[in-house]
Amino acid sequence: MRVELQNIRKHFGEVRANDDISLIFEPGKIYGLLGENGAGKSTLMKILSGFQKPDGGKIILDGKARRFDSPADALAAGVGMLYQEPLDMPPFLVLENYLLGQRRGFAVNARQAAKDLRELGKKYGFDIQPEEHIRDLSLGERQQLELLRLLAGGAQLLILDEPTTGISTEQKVLLFDSMRKLAKDEGKTLILVSHKLDEVQDLCSQVFVLRKGKLVGEAKLPCPNELLVNLMFEKLPPRRERASREQKQVALELKDAVVATPRLELQPLNLTVYAGEVFGLAGLEGSGQEILLKACAGLLPIRSGSMQLGHQPLDQLDYHAARAGGISYMAAGRVEEGLVAGLTLTEHMALVDQEAGFFVDWAGSRARTKERVQHFQVVGTSESTVEQLSGGNQQRFLFAMLPSSLKLILLEHPTRGLDIRSTDWIWQQLDERRKDGTAILFISADLDEVVERSDRIAVFSGGRMSRVVDAAKTNAEELGHLIGGEQ
Ligand SMILES: Nc1ncnc2c1ncn2[C@@H]1O[C@H](COP(=O)(O)OP(=O)(O)OP(=O)(O)O)[C@@H](O)[C@H]1O
Ligand SMILES: [Mg+2]
C-alpha cells in the first residue's frame, strides 16, 4: 500500500504539533521517523492511524483519500499502529484482546480463533498463549500480541512508536526480525518512531525528520549519525565532562537485607553506595533491581537484615519516612506512578510543596510552577495537564518536582524515551546533585548508559545481585554476560 500524507496540520492551542507535513511511504520499505521530544512524531502517527483527527490535510491510501473516525476504522483500511503506551486491556485474556476490533461477525469461534492466533504467532517466532491474562505478560509480549492483532486485522502499513523502550534484548531481536520479514516477504510498509539512531540505521532504508511540528529533512540510510543529529537539533550544546568522585562517606548501606514480593524473593543483599556516587543497576526487567529500588524507597518492607541511610539505621522505613530522610524515588511509569493524570502542573506543584496548613497557596504554587517550568525547560504551561506533555517533557517535569536537598535519588529508567539533548540534560542535572553529595542509584535497560554514567555497577539476574564492578573497567558486552547469569 502506498501511503501519502498531504499538508497534515494539528494544533493544540498555541502548540503547532504538526505544521503542514507532507510525506510519502512506499510499500515494502521500512521508514524511520526521527525528531526530538515534542517534535510531533506521535501526533502525526496518531492522525495516520485514526486515533486523532487532523485540523487539516489529507490521508491518501493507494490514491484514494481516506478519513478515519477511529483506530478500528484505520485498521479496516489497512493502517495499524503500536502506540507508545499500550492500548490493550490488562484484565482480559490474550485471546480476547486479540479479537478486539476484528470484524469476525457476530458469533466468534473461540477455538478456531485461538488456533489462528497460535499459528500466526509461530510464523513470527512469538510464543503466544491465548488463555493467559494480559496482566501476566511482559511489555514485550503484549507488544507481540498487539502486532499479531494488527496483522490479523489486515494491516498493510504498520506504525511502531518507540517499540523498543522497555522490552528485552531478545524481544527486540525478534521484533526486528519480524519487521524485516514483513517488509521484505510480505510487501508491508513499516514506520519506526525511535530515538535510537543505531536501531534506525540498522532497520530502515529511509528516514524523515521532524522538528517543532515541521518536516525538516529526510535521508537515505545508512548515513553518518552526525547528519541525522544535525537535522534533529538546531544546536546541540557540547557535552560536559563529568566530575570525578572522591567521597568516601556512606550514603546507603544494606547488610544481608532480604526483600521479596509475591513473585520474587531476592538473595540477601549487601550493598554500599557512597555520597556523591552514581551507582548503576542493569539486568532484564523483573530480575530484582526494581525490587531493590522500591525497598530503598520504603515501598517494600525489608524482612530481615539491615538498611542504613548515612549513619542512621532505618528499621521501620515506609515511604514517608524515606522522603523525610532525604530519599526520592522516580518510578518508570511516569503517568501511572510518577504523575497524576488529569491534574495540571500547578496542581502537582501544590501537592509536592505541601506546607502544613488548611489552605492551598495557589498563587504561590502557580508562581513556583512557572519558574520551574522555565528553569527545567518543560514545553508546556502551568495550566497544562500532564497528559498534554510529550514523554520527554513529562520526565523533565518530574525532575522539576524533586526536592532541592537530597541524600539519595532512586531512578528507574531516567532517560527512557528521551532524545539525546534531554538525556544529556538530565545527567547534567544529576551531576549537579552529585556535587552536593547526593548519591544516585539508577536502573537502566540501556547498557551503554549504565557504563557511561555510573561510577560502579551491579547486575541483577533472577533475583540475585552480581559482584559490584567498576564502571571504568567494564563494558556493555561484559555486562551482557553478567545479565545472562555468568558470574
Ligand atoms: N493531547 C494533547 N494536548 C495538548 N498538547 C498536546 C497533546 N498531544 C501532544 N501535544 C503537544 O504536541 C507536541 C508534539 O507532541 P508529540 O507527542 O507528537 O511529540 P513526539 O515527537 O512524539 O515527542 P516524544 O519523543 O517525547 O514522544 C508537544 O509539544 C505536546 O506537548
Ligand atoms: Mg511520541
**What is the average per-residue pLDDT within 378-385?**
91
Instruction: Reply yes or no on whether the pLDDT at 89 is more than 60.
Output: yes
**What is the average per-residue pLDDT within 309-331?**
85
Q: How far is the CA of 193 from the centre of ligand 2 (A)?
A: 8
Which ligand 1 atom minimizes the distance to the CA of 39?
21
Residue 455 lies in a domain: yes
Which ligand 1 atom minimizes the distance to the CA of 52?
1
Q: Are 196 and 312 members of one domain?
A: no
pLDDT digits (tens, 9 = 90+) for 73-83: 999 999 999 98
| pLDDT classification of 85: cutoffs 50, 70, 90 | confident
DSSP label of 276: T
**What is the average per-residue pLDDT within 245-249?**
72
Question: 263 versus 23: which is more confidently predicted?
Answer: 23
Q: In the listed set 202, 232, 262, which residue is the last one of a domain according to the structure?
A: 232
| pLDDT classification of 417: cutoffs 50, 70, 90 | confident
Cell of 247: 567521597
Q: How far is the CA of 451 from the centre of ligand 2 (A)?
A: 26
Q: How far is the CA of 37 from the centre of ligand 2 (A)?
A: 7
Residue of 21, 43, 192, 345 to mutate, ligand 1, most atoms within 8 A of C-beta: 43
Exposed, middle or buried, 467 (CB in 10 Å: 0-12/13-18/19+)?
exposed
- Mean pLDDT check: name the lowest of 22-36, 165-179, 401-415: 165-179
Residue 478 near residue 467, CB atoms below 8 Å: no
Q: Are 201 and 288 members of one domain?
A: no
Write the CATH number for 150.
3.40.50.300
Cell of 328: 526520592
pLDDT at 44: 98
pLDDT at 340: 92
Q: Are 180 and 218 members of one domain?
A: yes
Q: How far is the CA of 43 from the centre of ligand 2 (A)?
A: 7
The mean of the pLDDT values for the chain is: 89
Q: Are 222 and 255 members of one domain?
A: no
**What is the average per-residue pLDDT within 281-308?**
89
Please state, for a pLDDT cut of 90, what percent of the chain lies above it: 57
**What is the average per-residue pLDDT within 150-165?**
93
Residue 393 lies in a domain: no
| pLDDT classification of 486: cutoffs 50, 70, 90 | low
pLDDT at 240: 55
**What is the average per-residue pLDDT within 320-329?**
90
- Mean pLDDT check: name the lowest of 101-105, 202-206, 362-366, 467-471: 101-105
Residue 297 lies in a domain: yes
DSSP label of 387: G
* Nearest ligand, measured from the Cα of 33: 1
pLDDT at 294: 93
Q: Are 254 and 129 members of one domain?
A: no
pLDDT at 244: 62
Q: Whose CA is nearest to atom 22 of ligand 1?
A: 42
Q: Of all helices (H) and strands (E), which one includes residue 6? A: strand 3-12
Q: Are 437 and 303 members of one domain?
A: yes
Residue 180 lies in a domain: yes
- Mean pLDDT check: name the lowest of 125-134, 248-257, 330-339: 330-339
Residue 386 lies in a domain: no
Q: Are 9 and 153 members of one domain?
A: yes
Residue of 8, 9, 14, 15 to mutate, ligand 1, most atoms within 8 A of C-beta: 15
252 phi and psi angles, rounded to 5 deg: -140, 135
Q: Are 205 and 268 members of one domain?
A: no
Looking at the structure of the chain, the number of domains it has is 2
Q: Are 92 and 16 members of one domain?
A: yes
Q: In the listed set 176, 203, 232, which residue is the last one of a domain according to the structure?
A: 232
Q: Which residues are near ligand 1 (CB < 6 Å)?
A: 12, 15, 17, 35, 37-43, 379, 388-392
pTM of the predicted protein model: 0.79
pLDDT at 334: 80
Q: In the listed set 204, 232, 260, which residue is the last one of a domain according to the structure?
A: 232
Residue 349 lies in a domain: no
Q: Are 213 and 279 members of one domain?
A: no
Residue 341 lies in a domain: no
Q: Are 228 and 290 members of one domain?
A: no
Q: Are 213 and 273 members of one domain?
A: no
Which among 302, 342, 349 is positioned nearest to 322, based on CA atoms? 302
Residue 352 lies in a domain: no
pLDDT at 238: 61
pLDDT at 352: 86
Per mean pLDDT, which of 20-29, 125-134, 403-412 is the most reliable? 20-29
Q: How far is the CA of 213 from the centre of ligand 1 (A)?
A: 9
Instruction: Reply yes or no on whether the pLDDT at 427 is more than 60.
Output: yes
Q: Whose CA is nearest to atom 3 of ligand 1?
A: 388
177 phi and psi angles, rounded to 5 deg: -60, -45
Cell of 221: 540510510
For residue 301, the one-letter residue type is P
Q: Whose CA is nearest to atom 24 of ligand 1?
A: 37
Tell me the residue range of the domain where 59 lies. Answer: 3-232
Instruction: Reply yes or no on whether the pLDDT at 146 is more than 80.
Output: yes
Distance between CA atoms of 257 and 302, rounded to whole angstroms? 6
